[in-house]
Amino acid sequence: MKKITIQLFIILFFFYGKAVAQQVFLEKVNIEFARTVTVWPLLKEMDPSWYEQVKSNYPQESVNYYSFVSDGKKSLYKQSKEAQITRNSILSYFPNENVIYNDYSNSTTVSQKVSYGENFLLQDSLLNIRWQITPDTRVIAGFECRKAVGVIYDSIAVFAFYTDEIKVSGGPEGINGLPGMILGVGVPKLHMTWFATKVNIATDTDIRSVTPATKGSKTNRSKMVSDINAATQGWTWGRKVFMALLL
Amino acid sequence: MKKLVSVLCFCCFAIAAFAQNASIKGSVKDTLEKKNLPDAVISILSSKDSILIKYTRADAQGNFEINKLTAGQYVMLITYPKFADFADKITVTEEKVLEIGTIPLTQKSLLLNEVIVRANMAVRIKGDTTEFTADSFKVKEGATVEDLLRQVPGMQVNSKGEITTQGKRVDKVLVDGEEFFGDDPTIATQNLKARTVDKVQVYDTKSEQDQMKGIGSAGQGSKTINIKLKASAKRGYFGNATAATNFDKLEHAKLMFNKFKGNQKISVYATRSNITTGILQGSDQRKLGIESDIEYDELNGYVSTYNSSSDFSDWNLRGLPDAYTAGALYSDKWNEEKQKLNLYYLYNRLGTKNTTTTISQTLLPDKTINYSNSRSTTSGLVQRHVMNGKYEWKIDSFASIKYVGVGTYSTKNSYSDSYSESKNDVRGLLNINQRTNDQEATKKQLDNVVTYNQLFRKQGRRLVATLRLGLTEDKQDGKLISSTEFYRNNTSDSLDLIDQLKVNTGNAVSGGFKATYNEPLNKLWNLVTEYSYNQSSSTSHRNSYNKDNNAKYTKLDTLFSNNFDLKASSNSGTVVARYIGKKISAAFGTGVSAIQLDLNNLDSLKKTKYNFFGITPQTQLSYTIKPQNTVSFTYRGNTVQPNLSQLQPLRNNDNPLNLYVGNPDLKVGFRHSLSMSYNNYKPLSGRYFYNGLSVSFSPNAITNRSSIDSFGKTVNMPVNVNGNRNWNAYGYWSNGQGEKKLIHGIDYGASGGRNINYLNGKENTNNYTNFYIYYGISYNVIDKWNISISPMAQRNLSKSSLNPGVNNNYWTFGGYGNVYVMLPLKLELSSDIEANLQQKTKAFTNPVRITVWNAELKKKLFKDKSLELGIIAHDILNQNKGLTRTINTNFMSEERFDRISRYFMFRVVWNVTKMPGN
C-alpha cells in the first residue's frame, strides 16, 4: 500500500513538473460556445408594460450553441444547435445565425449577418474594440481566463474573458483583439452571454470547414452601421436587435 | 499638382513614422526553473485607463519585441498560464528601444474598474402585432392621431376618417387597450394628439378564444388599432375645445378633455354640429365592447329586430344633419393593477332632413326596359343612450375574470313622403305610387359577457369559459298611407289603396355558454377543444290594422300580420390541432353544430321544427421564411343557414311595389373561403410589401328570384343556386418611411366574381371584375411644407347572361391630394382635394364629376400655441352633391340626395395640456 502511494506521488510529481516545464499552447481548436439570453430582463427593458403581459409565454433563458474552429490564423464561428424558440417570438428577430470568418494574419473578416429579414455579407477589417484589461480572472472550460472590458462602436460595453493558453486572438461572434482566445463574453445591454462549454483540438476535417460564407448583400462596416443607424432612428427596440448584429 | 499630393502624402507618412517609432525589447523567464517562457503574452496597456494598446507573444527563447509605439507612459503586463502576472509601469521615448531585460514573473499589480453603459428602450413588431413607434413618424405640430396614421405604411384614412390597413377595414380603435367611447374610431383618432402617442399597434380583431384556436376567419375579418399613450401623457391632463361658425346657420363645436391621476382616467366628450353627424360608423353591440362569437351571433340572427344599427352613421348619411353627442368615461386600476374598471356613457342625437330623387332602369329578359323615377322627402330624429361597463380581476397569476356589460336605449321617429312612377319603353306607363310613412320606434338592449380565464402549472394549458346573456325589447308603431295606380296601355287599370296602422313588438332572451380548452401535447403541438351551447327564445308580433267604420284602426289585416314564438338552440363542438414550430405554424380542425328551431305560429297555431346541421372545417398554415417575411394560407368552410324571414312566408307591404315572400323549401348552403397573404418588411431600407388574395365559392348559395309583372311590381323570393363565387386581391408596396422625406407607395386591388339570380323565371348570371390602383408620393419637410398626391384609376367590368350585348363597363379616375405650407407670420395653409370622375355609360349619358376641394388657413397664438384661429373653406368648387350610382348589368340606379356642400367658417380651437416635463 505504502509503495503504491509513493509511486503515485512520484508519477504526480513527474507530471506536475512536466506541466510546468512544457506548457501546451493550443492553436488548432474547436470550441463550443453556449449563448444564453436572459429573456425576461431583456423584454422588460424593451417594453415594461408588454413584458408583464407576455412574460409567461417566454422562457426565462434561451440558449443557442455555436462552434468556433480555428487553426490559429483564421477561424469560423457559426451556429451548431439552435434554441427552442417559439415562432414569431421576439427572440427570433435577434441574429441567431451569424457566420463569422476571421483572418487574423491579414486582420480581415467576412461576416454573414442575418437578422430581421436582412442578410448582410460584411467584408472589412476585424472589429476594432478598445479593450481595458483587468486583473480579475475566472476559470472557463478548464482554462484560467482574464477579464477585459471593451467598448464597441463607442457605445456597446462588453466584458470578455480570454485565456493566453490558446494562441488565437478570436472569440464568439466578431469579438476579438485580446492576447488570447476569448472563452467568455457578456453584453449587459443585450442580456446575452457566451461561454465556452467544450474546448477540443480541431481535426483536419474541422480545419477544412473554415471557409467564409458567400451569400448576402455585400457591405462594409461603416455602411452597415450607418444603414442601421438611419433605419433605427427613434426606434430603440430595433436598435437593440441590430446592436446584436454589430457584434 | 500630382507632385504636391505625393509630397503631402510623404510628409504624412513621415510624421506617422516619426510619431510611432518607440520600441521595447526583453525576455521572459521562469525565476524558479530558470527557463525561458515561450508564448508568454506581453500586453502594453495605457497607463491612464488600462486600455490594451499592443500585444505580442514571446518567441521560443522567451524574447519579445514590440515596435511602433508612441512615446509615453504605459503599463506592461506579462502573463503566462499558471503564473502570477507581472505588471509594471514603463516609459518609452521616441526613436529609442527600451531594453527591459529579463522579466521574472512574480508580481501582482493594479486593480482596474469596469464601465457599464445604459440605454433607453422602445418597440416595433411583435408576433402577429405590427407596432409603430409614434415618434418615428414626423408629423407637424398639433397633428392628431389621424394625421399620424396617414403616415403609417399600409394605412389609408379616407376623408371621413375611416381607416383601412392591409386591405381590411379597421373596426375598432382602442386607447391603451380599452374601448374609447365605443364604436366610433374618430373620437380617438381625431381628438387625441399625435405627440401624446407612444405606439400604434395593429392586429386582427379576434376574440380570446379564436386566438387560442389560431384560426381567424378567412378572407373576411377586420383589424383593430390600439393607441398606446405615452407614460408622460398619462400624468396630467390634455384636451381641446373647438368652436366654428359661419355666422349664419352652420355651427360646429367639439370638446374633449382627458385627466389622469395615477391609474385613474376621466374623459369627457361632447359635440354639437350641423355639418356632421358626430359619429362615423354604424354601431352595434359588438363594436360597443362585446366581442363577437360566431355561434352565439348566428343563433341571434334568427331573432327578428326592427331597428337598423346604421342610423347614426355619417357614412350612410343622407341629407342635412343636426347632431349632438355627449359622453363621459372613467377608468381605474387598483390593487397593483390586478383590478381594472372601465365605464362610459354616451348619448347621441341626430336629426336629419333630406330629399332624395332616384332614377333607375331594369333590363327585362324580354329586352324591354323598365324606367322608374322617384322622389322622397324624409325627416327623422334618432337618439341613443349607451352605458358600458367593463371590470377585470386578476385573481392570481393563473386565474382572471372579466365582465362586460352594454346597455343601449334608442328611439327613432321618422316621417317620409314619397312619389314614384314607372314606365316601360314599350308598354308605356306602368304605375304611379304615392305614400307616406310615419314611424316611431324604441329599442332596449342589454348584453352581458363574463369571461373566465384559467392557466395551469403546465405551461400552455389553458381554459377559457364565457357566459353570455342578452335581452332585447323592440317596439315599432307606424302609419302607412299609400295609393298605387296601375296602368295598362297608358290607361288606368286598377287602384291599390293602403291605409294601415302597423304595430310591431318583439322581445328576445338569449343565453350562451362556451368553453375552450388548450392542452399542449408536446413542445410543438397543441390540441384545442371547444364546446358551446346557445339558446334564445323570442316573440315577434307584427300586426297591420285597417280602418273600421269609425275611422279607427281596429280591423286586423291577416295577410300582412304575423305573430310567432321562436325557441332556438344550438350545440357546437370544435377540435383544432395546432402546430407551432420555429418557421411553420399550422392549425387544422373542424367544428360541427346542430341547430334546432321551434317555431310556433300564434295565428295558425301551427308548430314547425327546423333542424340544421352545420360543419365548419378550417385550416391555417403560415410559413416564416425569415422574420418579417411570412406567407400564410387559410381555408374555412361553413354552412350557411337560411334565416327566418327567408323561410317564413312573411309578407310586408311597406313598399307595395316591392314585396318579399319566404321560401320554406330553402336548403342549407355552404361557403368555402380560401385566403393567402404574403408580408415582407425590411426595416433598414424602409420597404414594406403586402399581398393578399382571397377566394370564396358558395354551393347552394341563397339568392334572389325576382319577378316583375306587367305593372312593374316586383316580388322577391329567396332560392338556392349553384355556382356563385367571388375573389379579391389586394397589395401594398411602399418604400422610404420614417426619417426619409420622400415616400412612395403603390396600393392596388382587384376583385371579381359571379353571382346568379333569377329574373322573371330566367336565370341571370352576372360576371364582374374591378381593378384599381393608387400611386402615392409624398414629400415632407417638417414644419415647413409637405405635399402628398395619390392619383387613382379604376376599371369596372360586368356582363350579364340575360343581356350579353349590353356594355356597362366604365373607368373611374380620381384620387387624393393634400398640401401644407407654413407661410410667413407663422400662418399655416393647408388644402386637400378629393376627386371622383366616373365615365359615362350607356345607361347614364352624363359622367360623374365630383371634385371636393377644401382649404384652411390658421394661426396659432401664444407661446405654447394653445390657441388657434382659423378660416375654413369647405367644398370651394361647390360640387359636393350627394350622388351614388349603382351599376349592375341589368339594374342601374342613380340616387341624388342633399348634402352639405360649400361653406366658409371661422374656427377657434383651444388646446390645454399639462404633462410633466412640459
- Provide the pLDDT for residue B842: 78
Of the candidates B52, B81, B116, which has its C-beta nearest A144's C-beta? B81
Out of A27-31, A122-126, B582-586, B596-600, least confident range: B582-586
Rounded to an integer, what distance in angstroms lies between the CA atom of residue B568 and that of residue B722? 28
Q: Give pLDDT tens digits for A92-117.
A: 777 888 899 999 989 899 999 887 77
- Provide the pLDDT for residue B118: 23
Shortest Cα distance, chain A CAs vs residue B666, angstroms: 45
C-alpha distances in Å from residue A143, one per residue of B55, B57, B107: 20, 18, 21
B847 CB near a chain A CB, below 8 Å?
no
What integer is the mean pLDDT of A40-68?
Answer: 80
pTM over 0.80: no
What integer is the mean pLDDT of B208-224?
Answer: 63
* Chain B nearest-CA residue for A129: B52
For residue A91, which residues of chain B lie inside 8 Å, CB to CB? none
The ipTM of this complex is: 0.81
Shortest Cα distance, chain A CAs vs residue B585, angstroms: 7
Instruction: Please report which confidence band the pLDDT of residue B628 belongs to, taking 50, 70 and 90 as the band edges.
Output: low
Instruction: Please report which confidence band the pLDDT of residue B393 belongs to, taking 50, 70 and 90 as the band edges.
Output: very high
What integer is the mean pLDDT of B826-848?
Answer: 87
- Provide the pLDDT for residue B478: 92
Shortest Cα distance, chain A CAs vs residue B44, angstroms: 10
Higher pLDDT among residues B793 and B316, named by residue: B793
Rounded to an integer, what distance in angstroms lies between the CA atom of residue A60 and that of residue A42? 10
Q: Give pLDDT tens digits for B589-620.
A: 999 999 898 989 888 888 989 888 888 898 98
Extents of the domains making up chain B? 17-104, 125-231
B82 CB near a chain A CB, below 8 Å?
yes
Please say whether the beta carbons of A21 and B35 come within 8 A.
yes
What integer is the mean pLDDT of B55-79?
Answer: 87
Question: Which of A43, A235, A239, A243 is most worth mutating to test chain B (most B CB atoms within 10 A of its CB)?
Answer: A235
Number of domains in chain A: 1
For residue A50, which residues of chain B lie inside 8 Å, CB to CB? 123, 126
What integer is the mean pLDDT of B584-593?
Answer: 89
Out of A69-83, B562-576, B887-901, least confident range: B887-901
A23 sits in the region (left: phi over 0; alpha: psi -120 to 50; else beta) called: beta
B657 by Cβ neighbours in 10 Å (0-12 / 13-18 / 19+) ranks as buried
Task: Give the bridge partners for A143, in sequence order.
Answer: A140
Shortest Cα distance, chain B CAs vs residue A207, angstroms: 22
- Sign of the alpha-carbon torsion through A157, A163, A166, A167: positive
What integer is the mean pLDDT of B107-119?
Answer: 27
Residue B25 grid coordinates:
525589447
| Interchain proximity B628–A117, CB inside 8 Å | yes
Q: Which of B102-116, B293-307, B326-340 has the highest mean pLDDT?
A: B326-340
Which ranges of B556-685 would DSSP assign to H, the alpha helix? 644-647
For residue B40, which residues of chain A lie inside 8 Å, CB to CB? 164
- Provide the pLDDT for residue B80: 83
- pLDDT > 90 fraction of chain B, expressed in percent and rounded: 26
User: Counting every residue, how long is chain A?
Assistant: 247
If one looks up domain B17-104 in CATH, what number appears? Answer: 2.60.40.10
Q: A93 — phi, psi (to 5°)?
A: -80, -20
| Interchain proximity B685–A231, CB inside 8 Å | yes
- Provide the pLDDT for residue A70: 92
Out of A2-6, A23-27, B607-611, least confident range: A2-6
Pairs of CB atoms within 8 A across A/B: 176
Contacts with A, B 540-599, CB within 8 Å: 580-585
- Provide the pLDDT for residue B167: 61
Contacts with A, B 248-307, CB within 8 Å: none
Shortest Cα distance, chain B CAs vs residue A151, angstroms: 9
- Provide the pLDDT for residue B234: 75
| Interchain proximity A117–B127, CB inside 8 Å | no
What integer is the mean pLDDT of B550-576?
Answer: 90
- Residue A202 is part of which domain span? 25-246
Task: Give the bridge partners for B587, in sequence order.
Answer: B578, B620
Rounded to an integer, what distance in angstroms lies between the CA atom of residue B808 and that of residue B789? 30
- Provide the pLDDT for residue B28: 86
Please say whether the beta carbons of B45 and B24 come within 8 A.
no
A31 by Cβ neighbours in 10 Å (0-12 / 13-18 / 19+) ranks as buried
Above 50 in pLDDT, residue A15? no
B125-231: CATH topology: Ferric Hydroxamate Uptake Protein; Chain A, domain 1 (2.170.130)
Q: Which of these, A15, A193, A145, lies nearest to B85 by C-alpha position?
A: A145
Out of B647-656, B817-826, B888-897, least confident range: B647-656
For residue B629, which residues of chain A lie inside 8 Å, CB to CB? 117
Read off the amino acid at residue A156.
I
For residue B49, which residues of chain A lie inside 8 Å, CB to CB? 132
What integer is the mean pLDDT of A6-35?
Answer: 64
Of the candidates A20, A132, A236, which has its C-beta nearest B119's C-beta? A236
Contacts with A, B 468-487, CB within 8 Å: none
| Interchain proximity B455–A56, CB inside 8 Å | yes
Above 80 in pLDDT, residue B864? no
Q: Give pLDDT tens digits for B455-501.
A: 888 878 899 999 999 999 999 999 999 999 999 988 998 999 999 99
- Sign of the alpha-carbon torsion through A46, A48, A54, A60: positive
CATH of the domain at A138: 2.50.20
Rounded to an integer, what distance in angstroms lies between the CA atom of residue B20 and that of residue B8? 19
Of the candidates B49, B128, B582, which has its C-beta nearest A132's C-beta? B49
Q: A239 in helix, strand or coil?
A: helix
Please say whether the beta carbons of B38 and B14 come within 8 A.
no
Domain presence at residue A5: no
Please say whether the beta carbons of B275 and B175 come within 8 A.
no
Rounded to an integer, what distance in angstroms lies between the CA atom of residue A85 and that of residue B582? 6
Contacts with A, B 594-653, CB within 8 Å: 624, 626-629
Q: Which of these, B475, B380, B389, B486, lies nearest to B430 by C-alpha position?
A: B486
C-alpha distances in Å from residue B827, one per residue of B437, B488, B785, B860, B870: 52, 68, 12, 8, 9
For residue A47, which residues of chain B lie inside 8 Å, CB to CB? 121-123
| Interchain proximity B122–A46, CB inside 8 Å | yes
| Interchain proximity B41–A180, CB inside 8 Å | yes
For residue B110, which residues of chain A lie inside 8 Å, CB to CB? 135
B99 CB near a chain A CB, below 8 Å?
no
What integer is the mean pLDDT of B533-555?
Answer: 91
First to last CA, chain B: 58
**For all residues of chain B together, what is the average pLDDT?**
82
Instruction: Please report which confidence band the pLDDT of residue B219 belongs to, taking 50, 70 and 90 as the band edges.
Output: very low
- Provide the pLDDT for residue B113: 27
Rounded to an integer, what distance in angstroms lies between the CA atom of residue B233 and that of residue B322? 34
For residue A46, which residues of chain B lie inside 8 Å, CB to CB? 121-123
Please say whether the beta carbons of B754 and B726 come within 8 A.
yes
Instruction: Please report which confidence band the pLDDT of residue B16 belongs to, taking 50, 70 and 90 as the band edges.
Output: very low
Residues with Cβ within 8 Å of B862's Cβ and at least 6 positions away in sequence, in order, are none
Above 80 in pLDDT, residue B781? no
Rounded to an integer, what distance in angstroms lies between the CA atom of residue B868 and that of residue A12? 90
Please say whether the beta carbons of A68 and A170 come within 8 A.
yes
Above 80 in pLDDT, residue A233? no
B45 CB near a chain A CB, below 8 Å?
yes
Higher pLDDT among residues A158 and B664, named by residue: A158
Of the candidates B41, B109, B624, which has its C-beta nearest A179's C-beta? B41
Helices (H) and strands (E) counted in chain B, each on its own, are 6, 48
For residue A90, which residues of chain B lie inside 8 Å, CB to CB? 126-127
Location of C-alpha cell 386565474:
B399
Contacts with A, B 761-780, CB within 8 Å: none
Instruction: Please report which confidence band the pLDDT of residue B403 belongs to, taking 50, 70 and 90 as the band edges.
Output: very high
Q: B875 — phi, psi (to 5°)?
A: 55, 60
| Interchain proximity B117–A155, CB inside 8 Å | yes
| Interchain proximity B81–A23, CB inside 8 Å | yes
Instruction: Please report which confidence band the pLDDT of residue B121 belongs to, taking 50, 70 and 90 as the band edges.
Output: very low
Torsion over CA of A42, A48, A54 and A55, rounded to 10 degrees?
Answer: 50
Of the candidates B43, B108, B123, which has its C-beta nearest A47's C-beta? B123
Domain presence at residue A9: no
Rounded to an integer, what distance in angstroms lies between the CA atom of residue B792 and that of residue B833? 13
- Provide the pLDDT for residue A59: 79
B779 sits in the region (left: phi over 0; alpha: psi -120 to 50; else beta) called: beta
Q: Which of these, B649, B660, B653, lies nearest to B599 by C-alpha position?
A: B649
* Chain A nearest-CA residue for B111: A135
Location of C-alpha cell 505580442:
B56
- Provide the pLDDT for residue B13: 39
CB atoms within 10 A of CB B706: 18
- Provide the pLDDT for residue B892: 86
What integer is the mean pLDDT of A162-184?
Answer: 91
Shortest Cα distance, chain A CAs vs residue B102, angstroms: 18
User: Counting every residue, how long is chain B?
Assistant: 918
Instruction: Please report which confidence band the pLDDT of residue B573 belongs to, taking 50, 70 and 90 as the band edges.
Output: very high
- Provide the pLDDT for residue A114: 81
| Interchain proximity A90–B110, CB inside 8 Å | no
Above 80 in pLDDT, residue A7? no
Of the candidates B51, B85, B682, which has its C-beta nearest A131's C-beta? B51
| Rounded CA Rg of chain B | 37
Q: B590 — phi, psi (to 5°)?
A: -150, 155
| Interchain proximity A165–B81, CB inside 8 Å | yes
Q: Which of B317-321, B573-577, B820-824 has the highest mean pLDDT?
A: B573-577
